[in-house]
Amino acid sequence: MRVAIAGAGLAGLSCAKYLADAGYTPLVLERRDVLGGKVAAWKDEEGDWYETGLHVFFGAYPNMLQLFKELGIEDRLQWKEHTMIFNQPDKPGTYSRFDFPDIPAPFNGIMAILRNNDMLTWEEKIRFGIGLLPAMIRGQKYVEEMDKYTWSEWMRKQSIPQRVEKEVFIAMSKALNFINPDEISATVLLTALNRFLQEKDGSKMAFLDGSPTERLCQPLVDYITARGGEVRLNSPLKEILLNEDGTVKGFLIRGLNGAPDEVVTADIYVSAIPVDPLKVLLPAPWKEMPFFQKLQGLEGVPVINVHLWFDRKLTDIDHLLFSRSPLLSVYADMSNTCKGYSDPHRSMLELVLAPAAEWISRSDEEIVAAVLKELEKLFPQHFTGDNPAKLRKYHVVKTPRSVYKATPGRQKCRPSQRTPIPNFYLAGDYTMQQYLGSMEGAVLSGKLAAKYISEDHPVTSRHLSMAAAGGTR
């Protein structure tokens, strides 16, 4: 049975992978000339990679880790020390760490918090711990109910001192959804904290050993094609064509460079494109349906990924860093963290600029100048004196609509992967699964879409023998 999937991000590729495992023939149709969507990366003229986003993988990503295992590429994940490192804006050039000892959860997390005395006082830690009790005791149900509050509102409700938000949670909120605590839903931070506190290695981080396009997406494509599937680039979905009964008749694919449009037909159809373009492509009769109307409540949030190549080493830190700067979110010296980008003599900083609404339409030059100014505050030792560090080159990648903006009330807008249309399914990090807008969420959404398809449209022995005889349907 043939399944047409629009979008070759992690959701679309994972959906195709699990469908191929279940005996289907997936055909993935990607708009751009690059795999990976929000994990896409490009090589510049000098052979250096630059990426849509600085990506870290967490221990609390069971479906992603399973996928690496199934593809036989687990060794490509470079696990880092179990710690979280924050810049200290008040003491430039220094860091504060939350080190997780090798003991069971939640004690390793509790110890990490208790042992850090740079950022929080004892009273603040105790009041935060008490505030967190309902989430720890009542679990995910409580966490979901808190979607009516922003993180700032929730902290006030729990009588947690405001300094805790300023010291720790601006950085966490920006890292998780590229927005500040007065905008982000409390559900997002509580979900992450619950995972980190309940799973021993939940907050342990890994970097991929090279570009996600080459080191993660390509193995997925190889896996899919080896099992009879296909992944086509430069194939934008232009229109979802309907039968009279409202089911999907075909995907109309826009012809590029003067080529005619093409109708692709299949037994089943999946949208694995982000929610913003999907809203535009929804056929008129579907727009009336409450299931699809909910999508209007979801919208991608802007973010900018900046790469700076310097003439020398600025750090020897082999880890993710929380900048705690108003302009920036997390960053890493990729010349240390990523084997494929390694350089023993010169740093390449990859930095996430967030919130980015104000910056998204500005020029690359303006953005780089502002980031450099911020770096002078974080590393004054490298940018002052007779021989300041020199910027060799840069790349700026803007994503005007990235993951869905997780403000309060969004949970009820997130759709299931199974839609009311019997031959149409959804995959994508915005669809309902417990991992929010993340790589893990994207992979899980694709897996769930594949699972619902196999439940609703099982592959029969007739399909299998037709496929063996050379037919695709």
Ligand X SMILES: Cc1cc2nc3c(=O)[nH]c(=O)nc-3n(C[C@H](O)[C@H](O)[C@H](O)COP(=O)(O)OP(=O)(O)OC[C@H]3O[C@@H](n4cnc5c(N)ncnc54)[C@H](O)[C@@H]3O)c2cc1C
Match 């890994």 to its residue by tokens.
206
Judged by CB under 6 A, the stretch of 52-60, 110-118, 193-201, 459-467 that binds ligand X is 52-60
Judged by CB under 6 A, the stretch of 26-34, 92-100, 310-318, 339-347 that binds ligand X is 26-34
CA dihedral 408, 354, 434, 37 (to 10 degrees): 130
How far apart CA 186 and CA 193 sit, in angstroms, is 11
Q: Which two tokens stand for residue 247?
A: 């089911």
Q: Is 52 in the site for ligand X (CB under 6 A)?
A: yes
Question: Rounded to the nearest whole angstrom, what is the least distance from the CB of residue 280 to ligand X in the complex?
Answer: 9
Q: Which helix (H) or strand (E) holds 143?
A: helix 122-145
CB 185 within 8 A of CB 406: yes
Question: Rounded to the nearest whole angstrom, what is the least distance from the CB of residue 366 to ligand X in the complex?
Answer: 19
Which is closer to ligand X, CB of 38 or CB of 215? Answer: 38
Question: Rounded to the nearest whole angstrom, what is the least distance from the CB of residue 53 to ligand X in the complex?
Answer: 2
**What is the DSSP annotation of 237-298?**
EEEEEE-TTSSEEEEEEPPPTTPPPEEE--SEEEE-S-HHHHHHH--HHHHTSHHHHGGGG-
Q: Cis omega (within 30 of 0) on the bond before 290?
A: no
- Residues that bind ligand X (rule: CB under 6 A) add up to a total of 39
Query: Residue 6 corresponds to which amino acid?
Result: A
Judged by CB under 6 A, the stretch of 7-15, 78-86, 385-393, 451-459 that binds ligand X is 7-15
Judged by CB under 6 A, the stretch of 74-82, 272-280, 366-374, 380-388 that binds ligand X is 272-280
Q: Is 277 in the site for ligand X (CB under 6 A)?
A: yes
Q: Is 30 in the site for ligand X (CB under 6 A)?
A: yes
Question: Rounded to the nearest whole angstrom, what is the least distance from the CB of residue 25 to ligand X in the complex?
Answer: 18
Sheet harboring 205-208: ordered strands across? 57-58, 205-208, 77-79
The angle subtended at Cα 230 by Cα 225 and Cα 232, nearest 5°, is: 130
Q: Is 303 in the site for ligand X (CB under 6 A)?
A: yes
Which is closer to ligand X, CB of 31 or CB of 382? Answer: 31
Q: Is 428 in the site for ligand X (CB under 6 A)?
A: yes
Task: Report residue 397: phi and psi, to 5°.
Answer: -120, 120
Considering only 38, 76, 398, 418, the residue that binds ligand X (CB under 6 A) is 38
Per-position x/- string for 313-352, each x denoting binding to ligand X as judged by CB under 6 A, each - no binding = ---------------------------------------x
Question: Rounded to the nearest whole angstrom, what is the least distance from the CB of residue 356 to ligand X in the complex?
Answer: 9
Q: Is 402 in the site for ligand X (CB under 6 A)?
A: yes
Which is closer to ligand X, CB of 109 or CB of 428? Answer: 428
Burial label, 381 (beta-carbon count in 10 A; 0-12, 13-18, 19+):
exposed
Give the footprint of ligand X on this chain (CB under 6 A). Answer: 6-12, 29-32, 37-39, 52-56, 236-237, 272-274, 277, 303, 305, 352, 399, 402-403, 428-429, 437-442
